[in-house]
Amino acid sequence: MKASGTVSIKPSAVKNALQGVIKVASENPHLQKQLFHEDFPLFLQINAFKIPKSRGTNKQVYRIPLANSPLNSDADICLIVPDVKGIPNKEHERHVEHYEKLLEAKGVTGIKKIMTFHEFRTEYETFELKNRLVDLYDQFLVDGKISGKVVHKCGSIFYKKRKVPISIKLQATNLKSEFEKALKRTFFLLSWKSDSHAVQIGNSKMSIKSLTENVFSIVQFIEKEFPGKMDNVRSLNIYAYRGSSVPIYISLRNPNEIQVPELAIKKTPKLKTVRGELTTFNNADVVVRPSGKVIVKHLKNTTEVVKEVEDVTTEESTEAGYEKQKGKKRKLSEMKSGGTKRKQSPKKKVV
């Protein structure tokens, strides 16, 4: 199977590497002492020649689609959902009951825990509580409406244990297929401060065939999304935490011939000032600036009376308000020009 136009990776080499890593890790004394023979994760290590140049953020998160889910069929999955309108936030059971009926109607199974955003935000505030929550479940899913808020509240422990919630659409027509696609994605954190990266391909209880397909799914991602693509890859290794590392690809290119990849910066569109007619007032226009500032311009006798507002429904919107405002400005200008002088108190004679 070809990895790129000039590089090829043999599936037989990948299968042999997987079998060797699983065998060495299974014979580890620490794993043999366990009462229950649990599965352990397997990773593909990507070693690059050059660290890409980047401006702004120092890391980027990818969700790589795999051919097979890296989780077991009995994995514990937690779904974080938004609060239902019309139900008090503290009544978590009523919210959970609403979403349980939705999942049952759509044929979605395998969700062990349904958690509202209010519960996640209020009951898991400290680092210790978040650490316990991460260890309770194998994967976290979140509705796309609150994905940004939830990820912001997760903290570094979710990134460290590769369990940042995956976004899904609860409003999808085929909700079951939406869940299956989400569970087939693996977390990949690409840091611009290191030339070595790791991505999970599955676990030890999966078949060698499924693991091999996942490896080539990640290779396809490298060809399209990885900085420098396969030309910037020094080696690919399969490893486990308590096992050995076996290479499946090694590049013999001269590092001096490889250019440092530069990441394309997404340019935000330039915002423009918009001006239009204000229908709530007579003879008035509204101006909205890119900063968000709203300015109401009142047109009177072919002259503009400019006023910056936060709420357009103010008392100065009437004719009396205009006269009152002009009077204040007139008094202020007279005071500045020295038109009104304070009366000096008579000096006392000194005897």
The CATH number of the domain where 97 resides is what? Answer: 3.40.50.790
pLDDT of the residue at 295: 82
CA distance 228 to 50: 8
172 and 197, same domain (yes or no): no
Cα separation, 38 vs 9, in Å, equals 30
Considering the domain boundaries, does residue 287 fall inside one?
Answer: yes
The Cβ-side half-sphere exposure at 177, using a 13 Å CA radius, reads: 3
Whether residues 25 and 108 share a domain: the answer is no
- pLDDT attached to residue 343: 47
Token readout for 43 is 């990773």
The DSSP secondary-structure symbol of 266 reads -
**Quick one: 169 and 135 in the same domain?**
yes
Whole-Å CA distances, 148 to 129, 142, 238, 268, 310: 20, 10, 33, 19, 28
> Considering only CA atoms, which of 66, 45, 50 is closest in space to residue 236?
45
Query: What is residue 216's predicted lDDT score, i.e. its pLDDT?
Result: 93
The span from the CA of 209 to the CA of 216, in Å, is 11
Counting beta carbons within 10 angstroms of the beta carbon of residue 95, is it exposed (0 to 12), middle (13 to 18) or buried (19 or more)?
buried
- Neighbouring CB atoms inside 10 A of 282's CB total 10
Instruction: Name the residue with tokens 């400290």.
Output: 126
- Residues 202 and 221 grouped into a single domain: yes
Close Cβ partners of 245 (under 8 Å, ≥ 6 residues apart): 21, 45, 237, 238, 239
Same domain, 254 and 272: no
What does the pLDDT read at residue 212? 93
Per-residue pLDDT, 161: 87
Per the structure, the complete domain to which residue 90 belongs is given by: 74-182
Which pLDDT does position 327 carry in this prediction?
65
The tally of domains found in the chain comes to 3
Whether 214 is in a domain gets the answer yes
State the pLDDT at residue 36: 54
Are 106 and 135 within one domain? yes
Residue 32's CB: how many other CB atoms inside 10 A?
Answer: 9
- Do 197 and 250 lie in a common domain? yes
How far is the C-alpha of 237 from the C-alpha of 245, rounded, in Å?
A: 6
DSSP readout, 191-225?
ETT-SEEEEEEEETTS-HHHHHHHHHHHHHHHHHT
Q: Which of 232, 260, 288 corresponds to the end of one domain?
A: 260
Given a cut of 70, the residues of the chain with pLDDT beneath it are 1-7, 30-37, 55-58, 263-269, 300-351
Q: What one-character DSSP code corresponds to residue 141? A: E
C-alpha–C-alpha distance, residues 51 and 190, integer Å:
11
**pLDDT of 265:** 55
The reply to whether 26 and 124 lie within a common domain is: no
Residues 144 and 84 in one domain: yes
Q: Which of 202, 38, 71, 188 is nearest to 138 (CA)?
A: 71
Same domain, 18 and 106: no
CB neighbour class for 171 (10 Å; exposed up to 12, middle 13-18, buried from 19): exposed
Shared domain for 288 and 241, answered yes or no, is no
How far apart are the C-alpha atoms of 309 and 82, rounded to whole Å? 34
Last residue of a domain, one of 182, 214, 245: 182
| C-alpha closest to that of 203 among 2, 14, 18, 17 | 18
Burial class (CB in 10 A: 0-12, 13-18, 19+), 272: exposed
In a domain, 312, yes or no: no
CA 319 to chain centre: 50
Take residue 36 and report the two structure tokens written for it.
Answer: 């229950």
Q: At 23, which CATH number?
A: 3.30.190.20
Say yes or no: 78 and 174 in one domain.
yes
The pLDDT assigned to 140 comes to: 92
- Looking at residue 351, what is its pLDDT? 44
* Domain contains 342: no
pLDDT of residue 109: 86
